[in-house]
Amino acid sequence: MNGPHDLGGQMGFGPVAPEPDEPYFHAEWEERALGLTLSCGAFGAWTIDESRHARENIPPAAYLSASYYEIWIRALETLLSRHGFVTPRELAAGQSETQGALPKRVLKADMVAGVLARGGPCDRPVEAAPRFVVGQAVRTKNLNPVTHTRLPRYARAKTGVIEAVQGSFVFPDDNAHGHGENPQWVYTVVFDGLEIWGEGSDPTLTVSVDAWESYLEPV
């Protein structure tokens, strides 16, 4: 999806200004936003890819004017409503009015440390051998889907070289929309600055992108 989240190479948004010694949270509500997102994700009703796509679908004006955790909360409201845990009316009222969907599991306080330690590995085996090898020249496809994709706009229809075969992983473009995990091989592809940014770019610059196999074509 070509949404407000995909800012690579976009101009007019000002410089990146890292905050020295930035705290994990700037306000108490941000801690709660993270906790709510993780605990609701444990319901088992949606995948991390569907969660990402829910954030991408926030209208650009709202997305770009929101803080990091505001984006998380707005997407969480969408997911909870979509999967029947709350209604839009309940969200507006701030209280439950009906019995919503029941979660497959509930994340309790004594489970948090173990769940966070396990993480959510998305590596999966595939039967087919990798289509590409290290050192091979490849071109990314020119994709502009309305659905989820992990291929950024600035790296589409570009020629690069396979630097590494990273393994096989869940294909997020399908997994975000309930079409199954459909794992594919993932490759690190290296592009030079001229290929990505064109005339006037830093000739010493390279950009590395981890790309699923179906994003790539042989040159």
In this prediction, residues 72-94 reach a mean pLDDT of: 96
Domain boundary assignment for the chain: 28-118, 137-218
Phi, psi of 133 (to 5 degrees): -125, 160
CA 192 to chain centre: 24
CATH of domain 137-218: 2.30.30.50
CATH architecture, domain 28-118: Orthogonal Bundle (1.10)
Determine the Cα–Cα distance for residues 47 and 176; give it in Å rounded to an integer. Answer: 7
Mean pLDDT of the chain: 95
Residue whose structure tokens are 């994340």: 107
Least confident of 5-19, 26-40, 84-98, 104-118: 5-19
Burial of 152 (0-12, 13-18, 19+ CB in 10 A): middle
pLDDT 10s digits, 25-61: 999 999 999 999 999 999 999 999 999 999 999 999 9
Determine the Cα–Cα distance for residues 64 and 172; give it in Å rounded to an integer. Answer: 24
Under 8 Å between Cβ of 184 and 156: no
Tokens of 218: 């042989």
pLDDT 10s digits, 166-205: 999 999 999 999 999 999 999 999 999 999 999 988 989 9
In this prediction, residues 58-66 reach a mean pLDDT of: 95
Determine the Cα–Cα distance for residues 50 and 210; give it in Å rounded to an integer. Answer: 19
In this predicted structure, the answer to whether residue 22 has a pLDDT above a threshold of 90 is yes
Kind and range of the H or E element at 138?
A: strand 137-140
Q: What's the pTM?
A: 0.92
